[in-house]
């Protein structure tokens, strides 16, 4: 299947790296007459605040996809880190809900968690969340790299395990009464710039530089393209593989920080159902599921498009089911376009 004959500028647009961005702009322009408040200040704020956490997590997934793997456990990492961080910071827990929790009486009490009220609560909690996320990632990576288990199976098992752990720790209850300093991370601004944006953009820029400008990045692309040839050429593919899953876990933890701060609670079911959003947005951006191909900028465009799409579908008052069907259809379309574009680009050269 190849592209049909086209005039020059549509052809250039489709083959361009910014295709998804152009598509997003076109989509917004088409819908704007029907939903004028789409570009209103409030809605744009909504779109952006949805974008930052999703982008942070998708950046991590990008690393894993480029290595020719996949991380299905990111949402469970979000859940378990959300719960652990909240447990450390919380300033009050209802005994009726939490007395069955395994930590009740040891770390948790009616006054909240072990650092309740202390100024160290938020930094320690954040550190703990990042650490837990990274360690789970390292575990995933070790299984894939050393035991040579397929990434799909390893991360699926992690997903099941850690979702269950999160629920077990809180007996399915949400943890509230989190300190204001923490909530500011997800909801507050530094001047006019949301803190969530600062965090995510810093993460994304660092990730982009890592992937596109460093020796590590080249070794990552090599591993994703041909692990055998990479190994012969002296690339430590095991180190690369372990690192991408650790990065993915770390990014999932950052996403969890932002989401939990916005929701003002530690949720054992955080991220549930969002796996499609994460992987779908990355794939829409053009990152290949087969490995070796993808950039952080592409993920950015994919997430932007996805968030705009979800937002407009909501504004159009479509039912929950219709929205999911449309999302699925769009991802299918994106994958199809990717195949056609790859062929067209090869023919063009």
Partner 1 sequence: METSAIFEFRGISKRFFGIHALKDVSLVLRPGVVLGLVGENGAGKSTLMNIAGGVIPPDEGTMFLQGQLYRPLDPNEASRAGIGFIHQELNLFTNLSIAENIFLESFPRMRGLPFIDRRTLADTTRQLLASLNMDFSPSTKLEALAPGERQLVEIAKALSYESRIIIFDEPTTSLTAKERERLFSLIQRLRGEGKAIVYISHILGDVRALADEVAVLRDGELVANAPVADLRIDRMITLMIGRDFDNIFPAKTSRPGQKTILKVDALSQTGIARNISIEVHAGEVLGVFGLMGSGRTETARMIFGLDEYETGTITVGDSVLPARDPVAAIRGGMAFVTENRREEGLLMNVSISDNLGLVSLAEFSRRFGGIVDRKRLREAVGRIGAELRIKSGSYERLNAKSLSGGNQQKVVIGKWLMTRPRVLIMDEPTRGIDVGAKFEVYTIMNELASQGTGILFISSEVEELMGICDRIVVFSRGEIIRDFPRHEFSQERIMRSAFRQEDAAVLDA
Task: Report which secondary-structure segment, H or E, holds 332.
Answer: helix 320-348
How far apart, in whole angstroms, are the C-alpha atoms of residue 136 and residue 142? Answer: 10
DSSP for 93-111 reads --HHHHTTSTTBTTTBBTT
Give the interface segment with partner 1, choosing from 99-107, 162-170, 220-228, 311-319 (CB under 8 A): 220-228
Q: With beta carbons less than 8 A apart as the criterion, state whether 248 and 67 touch.
A: no
In this structure, the number of other CB atoms found within 10 A of the CB of residue 58 comes to 30
User: Residues with Cβ < 8 Å from 332, sequence gap 6 or more?
Assistant: none
- How many whole angstroms separate alpha carbon 236 and alpha carbon 9? 43
Q: Give the one residue of 189, 202, 233, 314 binding partner 1; rule: CB under 8 A.
A: 233
Task: Rank residues 24 and 230 by Cβ distance to partner 1 and give the closer one.
Answer: 230
Residue with smaller CB distance to partner 1, 96 or 228: 228
For the bound state, the minimum distance from the C-beta of residue 206 to partner 1, rounded and expressed in Å, comes to 10
By beta-carbon proximity to partner 1, the closer residue of 60 and 227 is 227
Q: Which stretch binds partner 1 (CB under 8 A): 55-63, 181-189, 229-237, 298-306?
A: 229-237
Q: Smallest distance, Å, CB 100 to partner 1?
A: 48
Q: Which of residues 119-178 bind partner 1 (CB under 8 A)?
A: none
Q: Does 238 bind partner 1 (CB under 8 A)?
A: no
Which lies closer to partner 1 via its Cβ, residue 146 or residue 333?
146
DSSP state of 3: P
Interaction of residue 30 with partner 1, rule CB under 8 A: no
Interacting positions 265-324 with partner 1 (CB under 8 A): 292-293
- Spatial contact of 73 and 140, defined as CB atoms under 8 Å apart: yes
- 17-55 burial: b if 16+ Cβ within 10 Å, else e: eebbbebbeeebeebeeeeeebeeeebeeebebbbbbbb
Q: Which stretch binds partner 1 (CB under 8 A): 104-112, 160-168, 231-239, 250-258?
A: 231-239
Q: Is 231 in the site for partner 1 (CB under 8 A)?
A: yes
Nearest to partner 1 of 106, 228 (CB atom): 228
Q: Which of 1, 147, 228, 319 binds partner 1 (CB under 8 A)?
A: 228
> Based on C-alpha coordinates, what's the Rg of the chain?
21
Binding residue for partner 1, selected from 232, 273, 319, 321, defined by CB under 8 A: 232
What span, in angstroms and rounded, lies between the C-alpha atoms of 161 and 179? 29
SS3 190: strand
Residues touching partner 1, count (CB under 8 A) = 23
What sign does the dihedral 186-91-102-107 (CA atoms) show?
A: positive
Residues lying near partner 1 in the complex (CB under 8 A) are found at: 209, 213-216, 218-219, 221-222, 225-226, 228-236, 292-293, 349
């Amino acid at each position: 299947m190849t592209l049909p004959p086209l005039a020059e500028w549509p052809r250039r647009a489709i083959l361009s790296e910014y295709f998804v961005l152009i598509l997003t702009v076109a989509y917004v322009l088409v819908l704007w007459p029907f939903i004028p408040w789409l570009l209103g200040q409030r809605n744009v704020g909504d779109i952006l605040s949805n974008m930052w956490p999703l982008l942070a997590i998708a950046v991590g997934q990008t690393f894993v996809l480029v290595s020719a793997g996949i991380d299905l456990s990111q949402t469970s990492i979000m859940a378990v880190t959300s719960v652990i961080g909240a447990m450390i910071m919380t300033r009050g827990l209802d005994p009726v809900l939490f007395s069955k929790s395994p930590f009740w009486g040891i770390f948790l009490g009616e006054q909240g968690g072990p650092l309740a009220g202390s100024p160290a609560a938020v930094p320690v909690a954040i550190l703990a969340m990042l650490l837990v996320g990274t360690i789970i990632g390292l575990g995933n990576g070790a299984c894939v790299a050393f035991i040579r288990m397929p990434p799909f199976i390893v991360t699926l098992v992690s997903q099941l395990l850690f979702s269950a752990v999160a629920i077990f720790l809180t007996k399915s209850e949400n943890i509230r009464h989190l300190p204001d300093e923490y909530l500011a991370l997800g909801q507050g601004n530094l001047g006019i710039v949301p803190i969530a944006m600062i965090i995510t953009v810093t993460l994304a820029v660092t990730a982009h530089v890592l992937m596109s400008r460093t020796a590590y990045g080249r070794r990552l692309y090599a591993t994703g393209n041909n692990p055998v040839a990479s190994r012969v050429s002296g690339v430590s593919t095991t180190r690369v593989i372990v690192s991408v899953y650790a990065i993915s876990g770390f990014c999932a933890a950052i996403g969890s920080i932002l989401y939990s701060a916005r929701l003002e609670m530690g949720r054992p079911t955080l991220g549930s159902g969002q796996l499609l959003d994460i992987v779908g947005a990355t794939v829409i951006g053009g990152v290949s599921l087969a490995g070796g191909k993808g950039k952080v900028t592409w993920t950015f465009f994919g997430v932007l498009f996805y968030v705009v799409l979800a937002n407009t579908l909501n504004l159009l008052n479509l039912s929950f089911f219709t929205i999911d069907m449309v999302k699925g259809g769009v991802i299918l379309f994106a994958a199809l376009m990717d195949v056609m574009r790859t062929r067209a680009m090869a023919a063009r050269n």
